[in-house]
A and B are shown apart, each in its own frame.
Chain A
Amino acid sequence: MALALEIPLPVNALTQNQQTSLALLIEHAAAGDTAAFEQIMIHSQQRVMAMTWRMLGNEADARDASQEVFLRVYKYLGRFKQDRDFFAWLYGITMNVCRDSLKKRQHHTETFMSLSVDDSQEAQAVPSEQNDAVQVLIQAQRRELITRAMATLPYKERASIVLRDVEGLSTEEVARIMKSSATTVRSQVSSARKKIRDYCLRVARASRP
């Protein structure tokens, strides 16, 4: 079974034709065309799922949150202005849904990480070579490490670092999505990077014999 890795594309990666077709789909969907809306979902489901997974840390919560994101997108699509960046607008809705989801959790640090090395799909895959198995294991361990590091971050720092370092948005774009200032975003990103680095160091020193 092949291993599929999602590589998030930067926001401006769409070609001109793709942007035109997306604009048409948005126009039809805003008028009530559910077939057009389904096409929009197909275009953006991976981004939304990846974002919600990174923010919430487990697939079940990510699926529920993604569903809620698309329901809100359909509800507010009529208010979307075509001169804005659709995916930046989508990220804003995703962040709001994730924030609401995190607030509902009573013990989010306990439920944040339900993915372990044994339960991961990568671990259950049958590698064709031993090197592949080692790589898969390393990858899963790295994912677990960074997932736990992210769990130590408060919501705003987590959102800022995901949008800035993972999605590749600029500081100004992140500030617009988070409804904040560029200075605040820079401060949150700096704090988040420091905490992640400190966590990784702590784990590395703890694992040394």
Chain B
Amino acid sequence: MSCKQIQELLPLYVGRDLEEKRERLVATHLEVCAACAAEANEYRESRQLLQEFAPPAVSEAVYANMRREVLRDIASSGPTFAETIANLFRPRLAWAMATVALIAFALFGVYLLRSGQPEPNQTVKGLVPTNQTVPYERRAAQPATPPSGSEPDHTARNQPRARRIYRNVIKERMGVVAMNVVKSSTLDRSVSPTAENPLSPPDEGKIMRVEMQTQDPNIRIIWFSQQNSKPITNSKGT
């Protein structure tokens, strides 16, 4: 290496800041070059001067006064608004707030999900309301006029209490959203119930047909019942 290159490295060499390989190169050069060795000594002396660079002695009274001023400033100033806000985001408090927010969000989500489900007694759009007859493919003949007194009033408030309770149970437990009851003594008896035709009514006595539309639009329960006999329950799709 040339003297110029060595002189560039001398400031770091005197402070042992060079990597080992370069340090050895410089040391070898200084052994044979008096000019570079003299310059290295100058760097060492100024560095030693710097290391002895001590400030003047400060009395304990000055230190005590400084501490007093600091403690007074601390006592007189509370946290600023920015510091108060910043303290909210300290690690522990931030974790606690995040946990509380997560729990609140979860509870709110559960509330939204539950309130989004339709009520059991709500009428789903497109379904049969309670005061209309459902048209079917095979439909029993309807009486032109219901016999006086024989057709029960389908409005809930005029029905016997037992029937009202029964209807409510059906609605709640079976998820029925609409129900229509047709009572007739002259239903079409030409089609007798068979395995292939389970929807046809029995051919004797007064027939009560109960049509119930569930919440699932694909499921409709048609229930034929003879008066004073057990009802025959048929359902589509089940």
Chain A residues at the B interface, C-beta cutoff of 8 Å: 3-7, 34, 37-38, 41-42, 45-46, 49-50, 53-54, 59, 62-63, 66-67, 70-71, 74-75, 78, 115, 120-122, 142-143, 145-147, 149-150, 161, 164-166, 171, 186, 189-191, 193-194, 196-197, 200-201
Closest to B77 in A: A71
Chain B residues at the A interface, C-beta cutoff of 8 Å: 11-12, 14-15, 17, 42-43, 45-47, 49-58, 62-63, 66-67, 69-71, 73-75, 83, 90
CB distance from A126 to the nearest CB of B (A): 15
Q: In the complex, given contacts A70-B70, A74-B70, A193-B47, what are 13 additional A-B residue pairs having Cβ atoms less than 8 angstroms apart?
A: A34-B75, A49-B63, A53-B56, A59-B58, A63-B62, A67-B70, A67-B73, A120-B56, A121-B57, A143-B56, A164-B15, A190-B12, A200-B42
Closest to A167 in B: B51
Those 8 A-B pairs whose CB atoms lie nearest each other, nearest first: A53-B55, A4-B57, A193-B11, A197-B46, A190-B11, A70-B70, A146-B53, A200-B46
Could you write out 9 A-B pairs with CB less than 8 Å apart? A34-B74, A45-B63, A49-B63, A70-B70, A142-B52, A145-B49, A190-B17, A197-B11, A200-B46
B55 touches A189 (CB 8 A): no
Expressed in whole angstroms, the Cα–Cα distance for A78 and B67 within the complex equals 20
A186 touches B12 (CB 8 A): yes
CB distance from B143 to the nearest CB of A (A): 88
**Overall SS of chain A's interface:** helix
Residues on A with C-beta less than 8 A from B90 are 78
Residues on B with C-beta less than 8 A from A164 are 15
CB distance from A125 to the nearest CB of B (A): 10
Residues on A with C-beta less than 8 A from B83 are 75
Q: Take A121-B56, A189-B17 as given contacts and tell me if A38 and B67 are in contact as well, using a CB distance cutoff of 8 Å.
A: yes
Closest to B87 in A: A78
Looking at the complex, which one of B42, B66, B73 makes contact with A66 (CB distance below 8 Å)?
Answer: B66
Expressed in whole angstroms, the Cα–Cα distance for A54 and B83 within the complex equals 32
Residues on A with C-beta less than 8 A from B51 are 165-166
Residues on A with C-beta less than 8 A from B57 are 3-6, 121
Q: Take A34-B74, A54-B53, A166-B53 as given contacts and tell me if A196 and B46 are in contact as well, using a CB distance cutoff of 8 Å.
A: yes
Expressed in whole angstroms, the Cα–Cα distance for A166 and B46 within the complex equals 12
B15 touches A49 (CB 8 A): no
Looking at the complex, which one of A7, A71, A78 makes contact with B74 (CB distance below 8 Å)?
Answer: A71
Closest to B12 in A: A190
A67 touches B50 (CB 8 A): no
Looking at the complex, which one of A62, A143, A190, A196 makes contact with B54 (CB distance below 8 Å)?
Answer: A143
Q: Take A63-B62, A190-B11, A196-B46 as given contacts and tell me if A143 and B53 are in contact as well, using a CB distance cutoff of 8 Å.
A: yes
Expressed in whole angstroms, the Cα–Cα distance for A178 and B77 within the complex equals 30
CB distance from B198 to the nearest CB of A (A): 78
Residues on A with C-beta less than 8 A from B15 are 164-165, 189, 193
Q: Take A78-B90, A189-B11 as given contacts and tell me if A71 and B73 are in contact as well, using a CB distance cutoff of 8 Å.
A: yes
B56 touches A63 (CB 8 A): no
Q: Take A53-B55, A78-B90 as given contacts and tell me if A194 and B11 are in contact as well, using a CB distance cutoff of 8 Å.
A: yes
CB distance from B21 to the nearest CB of A (A): 15
Residues on B with C-beta less than 8 A from A5 are 54, 57
Closest to A147 in B: B53
A67 touches B69 (CB 8 A): yes
Residues on B with C-beta less than 8 A from A189 are 11-12, 15, 17
Closest to A125 in B: B57
Residues on A with C-beta less than 8 A from B69 are 67
